[in-house]
A and B are shown apart, each in its own frame.
Chain A
Amino acid sequence: MIVAARRPAAVVMASAALAAFVALTACGGGNNTTTTNHVLVIDKSFDMKTADPQREFEVSGGIVAKALYSTLLTFKGSDSATPVPLVASSYTASSDAKTFTFKLRSDIKFSDGTPLTSADVAFSFNRLINIKGNPSFLLSGITVSTPDASTVVLTSSTANPAIPFIIPNPALGIVNSKVVKAHGGTDQPGADKSDTAEAFLNTTSEGSGPYTLKSFSTTTEVDLTANPSYFGSKPFYNTVVIRNIQAPTQLIDIQKGSNEIAIDLSSDQAASLSGNTALQVKASPGPNVFFLLANDNPKVSKITPNQHFQNAIRYSLDYASYVQLAGAGAIQTPGVVPSMFLGALTPADNAKFDLTKAKAELAASGISNPTVNLGFPSDFTLNGISFSTLAQKVQANLQAAGITVNLTGSPISTALADYRAGTEQLGLWLWGPDYPDPNDYLVFLPGQLVGLRAGWAAGADPSLEALGAQASSSTDNTARGQLFQKIQRQLNTDGPFFPLIQPGQVVVATKGVTGADYNPTWTIDPAGVGG
């Protein structure tokens, strides 16, 4: 028989341990002891890599850069259709959409009090270009000049009417050039090797945004504090904490009230919050477009380039069930341009599920009992939607039409290689906007980035390519919108792409929080959030 538990010493130790536990837990219970009304806690599953604006191009990094750095132009709230001046007081575009002139405000200072000039803009933009990082493509083919201290001129080698929609991107945040240079920054060619300012910018922000950087971690949290020198309206929250929290934990946290905003909840998780009067759930169509592709390259597949076979796929997809699977906020996307951007198609253009037509098209293809492979990122989930689940649905839909699909999904790091090499017979992927302009979707045309991934080589559809060239250089937004609609309708009949859904983008905030609006360019603007 063991008697240790009966000994006085053991009893005392056990009692002490219990007392310590109770004492600790009694004063636990979340962050009530530390947060105030002016601390904004945002939960986000981090993809954070850096706080250097010219290197970041991730969702988490965009939130941080938006708060720390000002851009020449911006968008208001959730709008992404009308760029408005921020650091620039005004801007003009030449009629050929090749030259854009920005006049700067004279009252803007960096957080250390240094006035912001055109030299800082030029340094920031050239640094972005020469670092050759993820966001460098934003200014591809553009040169920057500064006729005077308050004027910046961007000159594009080709017509680029999308520039005003690109400029608000947080990666084009303006840094204090003198300070960044003093800490190893450079905007000269070769900056990809010689620029060493990233470590510095991960500890200190050198911008003129509404907040300054207090602490930065790519894995735990980023703390921001209000910038007293900010030229705009003072933000309501003087401290912002952006925490790296996974979605299941975000769901618990937001109900407990230990954060103000949760960004990564899926539609299903958001649905579980219905009826919770302490929360506000905003579910709207997000900007990501999920699509299926059938490779047009006969070297990859003898089956998938067949136009009738592609039509069979188009008719065999039960689009409504994909929308239902995606949940609240999701919509069927009628084209590759998402619904909130210029040139988007309307629901009247939605592809229709028609199994009879699908079988007829398959018969017309002359291919009997076709078997094809479907590649997809098997470990990837976005907006709460697993690509594996979607792929199984595609498999079932196509099977009903008489097409056998082998699921050949693999982890995203390997699946991407096949997708980008254009070697998938069928592929299930998404396109997220790099900037909120339909020019970003010209990649779906023959010979372009995504077109090539579907084996659609340049010259495969000359009329469509001519339309693309016309749309990319048009300066009139009304005409551009019409051109992009025409392009998408033609893509939907002739192209190897099958747009499926725009999943819902869910933002959950506690009651009383205002301005927690989703914007495709930076997700959430902490300075725009009020209480």
Chain B
Amino acid sequence: MIQPASAAKYPLKPGWRLPLPSRPFVRFLGRRLAALILLGVGITFVAFVLTELVPGDPAAANLGQRAIADPAAVQAFREHYGLDKPLPVQYVVYLEHLVNGDLGQSEQSHRAVRADLAEYVPATAELAVTSILIAYLLGITLGVISAVRRNHLADHVLRVVSLGGISMPTFWLALVALYIFFFKLGWVPGSGRLDPGILAPPHVTGLFTVDALFSGQFDVLTNALQHLILPASVLAAYNVGLLTRFTRSAVLEVINNDYVQAARAKGMPERTVILRHVFRAALPPIITVGGLAFANVMTGTVLVESIFAWPGIGQYAFHSATTLDLPAIMGVSLFVAVVYIVVNFTVDILYGVVDPRIRVA
């Protein structure tokens, strides 16, 4: 658990300090890992129960109009995916396989769910990381500018722009962006991760930009970056707006505090005051929102992926849900849980990094 320690014991000093691992930290890490396991089990249980409650049949959703009328085909399908067993047995079998890292076989792709995730997660991660970097860079910068220039023209403009970023539906923005920057201006290529006919670089990480760099295929790297710019920017729009508004609010909370005034009175340059005293003090809420924004981007890209034909986890989750593909649904659910837990964990650690008064207890 994160608790603010005594401010007197840990006086706030300028500068960045990385806390070294300590016994409480190890306990904290252990608790988080235990939570991860418990949450994972809980999620698999809830997903199993909910899938059973849905008045649909995976066989009906996956077999064709003729095959579903053939008892032999239906039986073969049920046996193959273990659906012929009672639900509690299915669940126990699933957990047994899960312990061995086996997430089952997808009914839609006919492949191991683990293999599917290994293919789709890097695609989404590449998009999400690029998107969130854009969002952090723009959102935080604009938020600080907006706060510093409070009630000036720049502030008014940025508030309207950030509101627009939050308000615009992503699918609409994606189509408009594709129309303008691809169709009208021709600045960026259209959909997909690479141009047609360009083969993916040899698989190392699954991130095409990184793999192309590793293999020295700079033409592929350039092409991958061209394809990445537009969807990542569209995906970033919401978070730019969100981070701008949160950063502005957080900076305004502290910008007139006594220690800031004291720093100014000591004759510190305004840039130093803003970056080392104001911005740093404003960081914890920004980190919280930024972390959640990253988790949201990692798990909520379905519309952008659909419009830009981006083969990521969003499209996989959507197809899994519409075909009642239970193993895939479970795999995606676990992935989402892991993302949120890791992001929250990282955010907790970052609290301690940016504010030495906060330590694990």
Contacts and interface: CB of A to CB of B under 8 A. Distances in A.
Interface of A: 1-5, 7, 21, 24-25, 27-31, 33-35, 39, 41, 49-50, 55, 57, 132-137, 140, 192-193, 198-199, 215, 217-221, 223, 239, 241, 243-246, 248-249, 252-253, 255-256, 258-259, 379, 410-414, 416-418, 420, 431-432, 434, 449
A258 B178 CA distance: 13
Given A30-B182, A412-B322, A55 B110 contact: yes
Given A132-B72, A253-B191, A379-B322, A223 B199 contact: yes
B190 A2 contact: no
B110 A198 contact: yes
Contact of A413 (B61, B183, B315): B61
Interface string B12-38: 000000000000000000000000000
B76 A28 contact: no
A34 B190 contact: no
Nearest to B324: A413
B145 interface: yes
Given A21-B229, A199-B111, A432-B65, A2 B73 contact: no
Given A27-B226, A133-B67, A252-B178, A2 B311 contact: no
B197 A35 contact: yes
A467 to B, nearest CB: 22
A220 B196 contact: no
B226 A413 contact: no
Most chain B Cβ neighbours within 10 Å, of A3, A135, A220, A379: A220
Contacts of B189: 28-31, 258
A2 B60 contact: no
12 contacts: A27-B226, A33-B195, A134-B64, A137-B66, A137-B70, A193-B79, A217-B311, A243-B191, A245-B309, A249-B190, A258-B196, A416-B57
B54 interface: yes
A49 B107 CA distance: 9
Contact of A414 (B55, B67, B68, B200): B55
A25 B73 contact: no
Contacts of B68: 420
Contacts, number: 193
Interface in B174-231: 175, 178-179, 182-183, 186-193, 195-200, 222-223, 225-226, 229
A416 B309 CA distance: 28
Given A28-B186, A252-B179, A3 B63 contact: no
A221 B198 CA distance: 11
Contacts of A414: 54-56
Contacts of B57: 413, 416-417
Contacts of A49: 108-110
Contact of A31 (B80, B111, B197): B197
B238 interface: no
A136 B80 CA distance: 16
Contacts of A255: 183
A241 B190 contact: no
A219 B191 contact: no
A435 B333 CA distance: 39
Contact of A248 (B63, B307, B315, B322): B307
Interface string B43-75: 000000000001111001101111111101100
B190 A39 contact: no
Contacts of B275: 4
A417 to B, nearest CB: 5
Contacts of A133: 67, 73, 76
B182 A1 contact: no
B235 interface: no
Contacts of B70: 132, 136-137, 140
Contacts of A31: 189, 195-197
A134 B307 CA distance: 29
Contact of A35 (B119, B182, B196, B307): B196
A30 B186 contact: yes
Interface string B151-191: 00000000000000000000000010011001100111111
